[in-house]
Amino acid sequence: MDKLRIAGGRFLKGRVAVAGAKNAALPALAATLLTDDAVELTNLPRVRDVRTMLRVLEQLGATVNETGAGAATVRVGRLQSFEAPYDLVKTMRASVLVLGPLVARHGRARVSLPGGCAIGERPINLHIDGLQKMGADITIEHGYVEAKAKRLRGASITFPFKTVTGTENLMMAATLAEGTTRLGHCACEPEIVDLAELLVSMGAVIHGAGTEDIVIEGGQPLRGARHRVIPDRIEAGTYLCAGALIGDGIEVVGARADHLEAALTQLAACGVVIERTGEVLRVLRPERLVARDLRTSPHPGFPTDMQAQYMALMTQASGTALIAETIFERRFMHVGELQRMGANIRIDGRSAAVTGPTRLTGAQVMATDLRASACLVLAGLAADGVTVVDRAYHLDRGYESMETKLGALGASIERIR
Ligand code: EPU
């Protein structure tokens, strides 16, 4: 298994370009199932999860043409199968995004239940409840969700709490359902707006994406489209944290500051100065980083996907930061590893108190999920000595060539086996 070896303590300097957003690319790829025309997507990040989604689509019968770096044309004519099998779903939960489109256009779907993962239980009951309200007949057997519907019908569905892929799945299904669908208490992430933009360019009628109430006028067949995926706000935020931690004025290029407001505000409160010039965010490491409390919450709040990276930063801040994780019940797996590197962190339920600054020392550490891995890489960059982050495949799921990008900024980082 690949590992990343980092010799810490080198200041980072230069420019780093942000790739397309993994969490926007995955629903966009699933949306190709809604039409038999070709859909061309650009700015797809070259990460493992995108490859997995392409494999899921190919297995269903899609023709995928990779037309250049980060560009692919996907065409789904007649399906070969209606199934997203366990072997693929277990490696990537977001495979469940094919459920809504498959049943909406093809009348049938069989998708493995993803089961729990490293960061929490993560059920998909809200996806299932919503599709049932739209008339799908759903059974759960042998670890699979099987959904059938001759034709979905528009429905009024209010989510009891916000779910990103749940909102995306139902929004996609509703575009082909007969009549109007009203979705209430929707997630408002920029990735949902991006998906809605793609669907609208395919001919869908959608109002309110990015707010809690989305209305979809469904029923018309969708057509092909071209779409450029938005930049990855979490990747951008990760490099902003690197710049705040051990940067010498690094510039993050190609991010959308309007997608990063909560992170930018939080970093500013810690004393980090970020200058914005067009598409460039220049981050200045402060003389003294100040500890600030944090609570993750759905967009426009501070993203859970940035919590671990922020925690790495807080190990070097003066004072105690209380970090509350409100989205996932087990998203503190990085804490034990940070402690082994010398961090002073106390967990109390779903909060962690990080007291700093502490000297971090390089160690062998184990990545447990994507964002925990990014946190450990950041800690390794700031630590004295050598850190080896085991199970780098977690990082490869969502960060495009992270070691190359950090290496170009001057970090001493290499992939070893
Ligand atoms: N939930 C349920 N039932 C459901 C759906 C969700 O109980 O049917 C719960 C989840 O267990 C969780 C909360 O609702 O406690 C919110 O989960 P959500 O459904 O919003 O998460 P998701 O859609 O599975 C997406 C991202 C995650 C990101 C979360 C939260 C994609 C492909 N994944 O997951 O990204 O953490 O939203 O913002 O968009 C990552 O990129 O590292 C990552 C984990």
pLDDT digits (tens, 9 = 90+) for 191-225: 999 999 999 999 999 999 999 999 999 999 999 99
pLDDT band at 398 (very low <50, low <70, confident <90, very high): very high
User: Cα–Cα distances in Å, from 389 out to 274, 309, 402?
Assistant: 29, 15, 13
Q: What tokens appear for 416 in the block?
A: 């070893």
pLDDT in tens, 324-353: 999 998 899 999 999 999 999 999 999 999
Mean pLDDT of 7-32: 98
Which residue, judged by its Cα, is nearest atom 10 of ligand 1?
122
CB 343 within 8 A of CB 274: no
CB 205 within 8 A of CB 182: no
CA nearest to 187, candidates 299, 262, 75? 299
152-173 b/e (C-beta count within 10 Å ≥ 16 → b): bbbbebebeebbbbbbbbbbbb
Count Cβ atoms below 10 Å from residue 384 Cβ, excluding itself. Answer: 14
- Answer yes or no: is the C-beta of 371 below 6 A from any ligand 1 atom: yes
Kindly tell me if the per-residue pLDDT of 168 is higher than 70: yes
Count Cβ atoms below 10 Å from residue 288 Cβ, excluding itself. Answer: 10
Which residue, judged by its Cα, is nearest atom 28 of ligand 1?
305
pLDDT in tens, 32-61: 999 999 999 999 999 999 999 999 999 999
Please name every residue paired with 147 in a beta bridge, in sequence order, or none if there are none: 109, 138
- Answer yes or no: is the C-beta of 402 below 6 A from any ligand 1 atom: no
Q: What is the pTM of this model?
A: 0.98
Tell me the C-alpha distance between 11 and 372, whole Å: 22
User: Cα–Cα distances in Å, from 90 out to 37, 85, 86, 146, 407?
Assistant: 29, 9, 6, 17, 32
- Answer yes or no: is the C-beta of 306 below 6 A from any ligand 1 atom: no
* Ligand 1 center to 171 CA (angstroms): 16
Ordered strands of the 137-141 beta sheet: 83-84, 108-112, 144-148, 137-141
pLDDT in tens, 223-249: 999 999 999 999 999 999 999 999 999
pLDDT at position 68 is 87
Atom of ligand 1 nearest to the CA of 189: 38
Tell me the C-alpha distance between 160 and 212, whole Å: 12
Helices (H) and strands (E) in the chain, counts: 14, 24
CB 384 within 8 A of CB 9: yes
* Ligand 1 center to 263 CA (angstroms): 19
Kindly tell me if the per-residue pLDDT of 119 is higher than 90: no
Which residue, judged by its Cα, is nearest atom 37 of ligand 1?
164
Give, for ligand 1, the residue of 122, 124, 169, 400 to mutate: max count of ligand atoms closer than 8 Å to Cβ. Answer: 122
- Answer yes or no: is the C-beta of 115 below 6 A from any ligand 1 atom: no
- Answer yes or no: is the C-beta of 304 below 6 A from any ligand 1 atom: yes
Kindly tell me if the per-residue pLDDT of 116 is higher than 80: no
* Ligand 1 center to 20 CA (angstroms): 19
* Ligand 1 center to 163 CA (angstroms): 6
Mean pLDDT of 262-287: 96
Tell me the C-alpha distance between 348 and 368, whole Å: 20
- DSSP E strands in 27-99: the ranges are 38-42, 63-68, 71-75, 83-84
CA nearest to 379, candidates 410, 409, 407, 337? 337
Which residue, judged by its Cα, is nearest atom 14 of ligand 1?
163
In the residue annotation, 270 being an active-site residue is answered as no
Q: Which of 117, 186, 188, 241 is flagged as catalytic?
A: 117
Atom of ligand 1 nearest to the CA of 299: 38
Percent share of the chain, pLDDT over 90 = 94
CA nearest to 357, candidates 295, 304, 290? 290
Tell me the C-alpha distance between 103 and 336, whole Å: 42
- Answer yes or no: is the C-beta of 165 below 6 A from any ligand 1 atom: yes
What 269-278 contacts at long range (C-beta under 8 Å, 24+ apart), as own/partner pairs, is 270/244, 270/313, 270/317, 272/240, 272/243, 272/244, 274/240
Give, for ligand 1, the residue of 98, 165, 183, 329 to mutate: max count of ligand atoms closer than 8 Å to Cβ. Answer: 165
Kindly tell me if the per-residue pLDDT of 115 is higher than 70: no
Tokens 């899921």 found at: 56
Atom of ligand 1 nearest to the CA of 129: 8
Average pLDDT for the chain: 96
- Provide the CB-side half-sphere exposure for 358 (13 A, CA): 20
Ordered strands of the 351-356 beta sheet: 294-295, 319-324, 351-356, 344-348
Atom of ligand 1 nearest to the CA of 370: 42
Give, for ligand 1, the residue of 23, 309, 326 to mutate: max count of ligand atoms closer than 8 Å to Cβ. Answer: 23
Give, for ligand 1, the residue of 161, 163, 375, 402 to mutate: max count of ligand atoms closer than 8 Å to Cβ. Answer: 163
* Ligand 1 center to 413 CA (angstroms): 31
Q: What tokens appear for 109 in the block?
A: 């779907």
Phi–psi pair at 323, nearest 5 degrees: -110, 115
pLDDT band at 122 (very low <50, low <70, confident <90, very high): confident
